[in-house]
Amino acid sequence: MDSFCIFIGIFAGITAILAKCGLQKTDSNIAMAIRRIIVLLFSWGIVFCIGSQAEISSLTLKTWCFLILSGIAQVLHGFVILELFKTAPQVL
């Protein structure tokens, strides 16, 4: 469990650094869309590699609602973070 926490911190830091470096001359909305496409492809790749795609049909309406709301919150969070990175001073 502790190793997962370490990896979460490491990947969050890497994500922040790469996002800041990549936003120097890029519209943050375009950057967000490109990042979300990568996440989408990678996530579905994992689902199909593991073979858990059959479980989609067993999701309840309540689960779908919470997943959709969670996704919306994640996208809004991403937009705020990218806007922050765009306006923050360059460190690297």
- Neighbouring C-alpha atoms within 13 Å toward the C-beta of 52: 7
**In this predicted model, what pLDDT tens digit does every residue of 14-55 receive, in sequence order?**
887 877 776 677 777 787 888 889 999 999 999 999 999 999
What predicted TM-score, i.e. pTM, was given to this entire model? 0.67
Confidence of residue 90 (pLDDT cuts 50, 70, 90): low
Top pLDDT among 12 and 54 is at 54
Host H or E run for residue 86: helix 61-87
What does DSSP assign to residue 24? Answer: T
> What distance in Å separates the CA atoms of residue 19 and residue 5, rounded to the nearest whole number?
21
pLDDT of 44: 95
pLDDT of 1: 63
Domain range summary for the chain, segments of one domain joined by +? 2-87
